[in-house]
Amino acid sequence: MSEPFSRFLHPFDVAHHPSLEPEVKRALLASWASDRASVRNKPALRKRPGARRAVPVDDVLAALRSLDGGEARAP
């Protein structure tokens, strides 16, 4: 992938990226949703390596659902 993962500020940036394959989007979002990305003492937040701020895990899961055509809206 030519763009580093750290360039994505929000999960919907990944979900709506025009040149990423769906499988790549899923892999990026799944790694973001993983417990490895959870914020210590704040299990509802996820922060990827190199990110400046955390996002709610609900936003990550909504972005994943949007790839399946599920009901999801960008914040």
In a domain, 64, yes or no: no
Angle at alpha carbon of residue 15, lines to 64 and 28, rounded to 5°:
70
Distance CA 45, CA 51 (A): 12
Indicate whether 63 belongs to any domain.
no
Q: How confident is the model over 14-41, as pLDDT tens digits?
A: 999 999 999 999 999 999 999 999 999 9
60 belongs to a structural domain: no
Q: What are phi and psi of 32, to 5 degrees?
A: -70, -35
Residue 69 forms part of a structural domain: no
Return mean pLDDT, the chain.
Answer: 87
pLDDT tens digits for range 35-70? 999 999 999 999 988 888 899 999 999 999 999 886
Evaluate whether residue 25 is within a structural domain.
yes
Residue 71 covered by a domain: no
Residue 10 domain flag? yes
Cα–Cα distance, 23 to 10 (Å, whole number) = 18
pTM of the model: 0.81
Calculate ∠ Cα 14-42-67, nearest 5°.
20
Residue 33 lies in a domain: yes
Range of the domain at 27: 5-55
Instruction: Count up the domains in the chain and report the number.
Output: 1
